[in-house]
Chains A and B, each alone.
Chain A
Amino acid sequence: MREAWLPLAVLLALGAAPLLGFGGSYETTLMARVMILAMAAVSLSFLVGGAGLVSLGHAASVGVGAYAVAILDAHNVTEATRVLPAAIGAAALFSLVTGAVAIRTSGVHFIMITLAFGQMAFFTASSLAAYGGDDGYTLYSRTEVWGSRLLGDRLAFHYVCLGALALTWALCAMLLASRFGRVLRAARENAQRVEAVGLSPYPFRLVAYVIAGAIGGAAGFLLANATEFVSPAGISWQRSGELLFMVILGGVGRLWGAILGAVAFVLLETWLADHVAHWKMVFGPLLVLAVLFLKGGLSGLVVRRHG
C-alpha cells in the first residue's frame, strides 16, 4: 500500500478543496461527478482487474440505482433510509439475475452478453413512460436523510460523495485482499487449477459481480441526487465504455488507478468540451493513444517513477 500515497493525496485534495476556495457551485458539481464516477469505476476495476470479468454493461447497474431513486421520487418516497437500500438492492438484484447468465460465458462472450444486458436496461428505461421515457425524469427534490434536507447542502453532499468513494475503495481493497479475493484472482489467472483444488469459480465470480453491481447502484443513487435528473442516456453502452476507459486509463490491477482514471477522464472531458467545438475528435484519438502507449495506465506511470 506504500504506492497508494497518490490516491490518498487525491482524496485529501478533494476533501480540502471546498475549504480552499473551490466550494462554488461549478467546482462542487464537477467534483461530485468525479467522485461518483470514480466510485463506479473502482467497482468496475474490482471486477475487471480483480476477477478478470470485463463488463461492458456496468453503467446499467448505475442506471438501475438512479432509476430506483427516480421511481420512488415519483411515488413520493424521498427518505434515504428507504431509497438508498432500494437503489442498492435493485442494482444487486439486477446484477444477480444478469450475472447468473453472463458468468456462464467467458472472454469475448462475456463482454458481449454484458453489453446486451446493458442495452436491455437501456431500452427498459426508455420505455418507462411514467418516468419520462426517452426524455428522462427530473426529481422533485434531493433525497432526504431522516427528514432533513442534508443532501441539498452543497458541502454536505460533497463530503457524502467523498465518504462513499473512500468507503468503496476500502471495501473493494479489503475484499481483494481477503480469501474471497484470492480465489477470484486465482480463477482469473487459471480457472482450471482453482477447480482442481476443489473450488468452483462460478459462485465467487457471481458474488463479485453482485457486489460490483450493488456499489454501482449506490453510485447511481448519488448520481441521481447530484444532477436531480435521470435519463436513459446514463445507461447507454457509451457510458459503460467510458467507465471501462477510466479503469484502463488509471491502470487495470490497481484499484486506486480507477480513481485517477476518473479524475483524469472527467477533467479532460470537461476541459475539452469547454474549449474545443468538436472535442470528441480530440478525445477519441487521445483514447487510442492512451491504450497504445500508456500500458499500465496512469497508476503504472506513477509506480514506475517511484518504484
Chain B
Amino acid sequence: MTTQLLLVQALNGLQLGILLFLVAAGLTLVFGVMDFINLAHGVQYMLGAYLGASLAAATGSFWLGLLLALPAALIAGLVLEVLVFRHLYDRDHLAQVLATFGVILFLNEGVKLVWGAAPLQVAVPPLLEGGVQIMPGLQYPLYRVAVLGAGLATAGLLWWLVERTRAGMLVRAGATNAPMVSALGVDIGRLFTLVFAFGAMLAGFAGVLAGPIFSVEPGMGDTVLILAFVVIVIGGIGSIRGAFVAALLVGLIDTLGKSLMPDLMRLFLDASAARQAGAALASMLVYVAMAAILAFRPAGLFPVRAG
C-alpha cells in the first residue's frame, strides 16, 4: 500500500461520502421534520440515475440529461408524496417502514420492466474526460473531482438554505418541535411537501452524478439507502451538519476499509481467503462504527431534538 494509492482511496472515500451526503440530507430532513422513515428514499436515488441515463441518451448530452432529470426526480418525489407518503405521516414507524418497503419493491421491479435488468452504462461527459495531476505521477479522473466539487457546492448551498433563509429556519424549527411550529401558524403540511420534494431532488441529483461512476442497475438504491440511514443515525437525526460529517466518515471508512482490509487480513490468512474475508469485514466496518457510536451516544453525534 503506497501513499499514492492511499491518497486515491481517500479521495474515492470522500467522493462516496459526498454522494451519501446528498442522499442522506433529504432523508435526515424528512426524518427530522416529519418523523417519517422513508425507506423509499434509496429508490429515488436509483430513479435519478435512470432518468439521468435515459435522458442523457435521448438528448445526446449529459448536461441536458442532468438538467431534465432534476425536475423529473422532483416530480417523481411529489407524486409519491401525494399518492402514498402523505397518508403515513400520522402513522407509527412500523407502518411507514412497511409501506415504503412496498414502494421499493414496486419501483425496483418497475425499473426492470422499463429499462431491463441489465446495468446501464453512462458515459462521462466529454468536458470532464481525462484526469488531473494531483501528485507527480498520479492522475485522478477529472469527473470524480467534479463530483466532489459539485457535492461540496451543493452542501454549501444547502447549509445556506437551512441556516440563512426563512424556509430553512422553519425546517430547523420543525425538526426541533413540529407541533409548536404548527401552533405558531405555519402550514406544516406545505413545509413537509417542500422538504420532501427537495430531498427527492437531491437524491435524484446524487443518482445522476453516480451514473458514470457506478453502474446504473435495479436495486442500486438499496445499498445507498442503508448507508444513508447509517449516516443519519450516526450524525443525529435531523441534523444537516451531522449528516455531512457522518457521510464523509462513512464514505472514508467504507472505501478505505475495502482497500486496506484485504491486505490487513493477509497477515493472518492466505491470499484468496484474505481477499474474501477482508471484503466482508470491510463491509461490516461501517455497521460496527455505527453500533459503537450509538452505544456511547444513543442520539448520534449531533443530536437535534431537545429532550
Main secondary structure of the interface of B (DSSP, over half): helix
Q: Are B99 and A133 in touch, CB under 8 angstroms?
A: no
A127-B280, A127-B281 known; A120+B98 contact, CB < 8 A: no
Q: Tell me if A291 counts as interface (CB < 8 A to partner B).
A: yes
Chain B residues whose CB sits within 8 angstroms of the CB of A252 once the complex forms: 94
Residues 268-294 of A, flagged 1 when their CB comes within 8 A of B and 0 if not, give: 000000000011110111111001100
Q: How far is the CA of A133 from the CA of B109 in the complex (A)?
A: 26
Q: Tell me if A191 counts as interface (CB < 8 A to partner B).
A: no
A113-B233, A115-B229, A244-B94 known; A124+B31 contact, CB < 8 A: no
Chain A nearest Cβ from B107, distance in angstroms: 8
Chain A nearest Cβ from B11, distance in angstroms: 24
Q: Are B99 and A287 in touch, CB under 8 angstroms?
A: yes
Looking at chain A, what size class is its interface with the partner chain?
A: 35 or more
Q: Are A283 and B105 in touch, CB under 8 angstroms?
A: yes
Select A284's contact among B109, B229, B284, beta carbons within 8 Å: B109
A104-B298, A119-B287 known; A287+B37 contact, CB < 8 A: no
Specify the chain A residue showing the minimal Cβ separation from B94. A54
Q: Tell me if B106 counts as interface (CB < 8 A to partner A).
A: yes
Q: How far is the CA of A54 from the CA of B97 in the complex (A)?
A: 10
Q: How far is the CA of A284 from the CA of B105 in the complex (A)?
A: 5
Chain B interface residue count, CB cutoff 8 Å, equals 47
Q: Tell me if B162 counts as interface (CB < 8 A to partner A).
A: no
Specify the chain A residue showing the minimal Cβ separation from B277. A127
Specify the chain A residue showing the minimal Cβ separation from B84. A288
Most buried by B among A123, A245, A288: A288
Q: Tell me if A18 counts as interface (CB < 8 A to partner B).
A: no
Residues 84-97 of B, flagged 1 when their CB comes within 8 A of A and 0 if not, give: 10011001011101
Chain B nearest Cβ from A119, distance in angstroms: 5
Q: How far is the CA of A112 from the CA of B229 in the complex (A)?
A: 7
Top 3 A-B residue pairs of the complex, sorted by shortest distance between their CB atoms: A127-B280, A284-B106, A287-B102
- Chain B: residues with CB nearer than 8 A to chain A? 31, 37, 84, 87-88, 91, 93-95, 97-99, 101-110, 112-113, 222, 226, 229-230, 233, 237, 272-273, 276-277, 279-281, 283-284, 287-288, 290-291, 294-295, 298-299
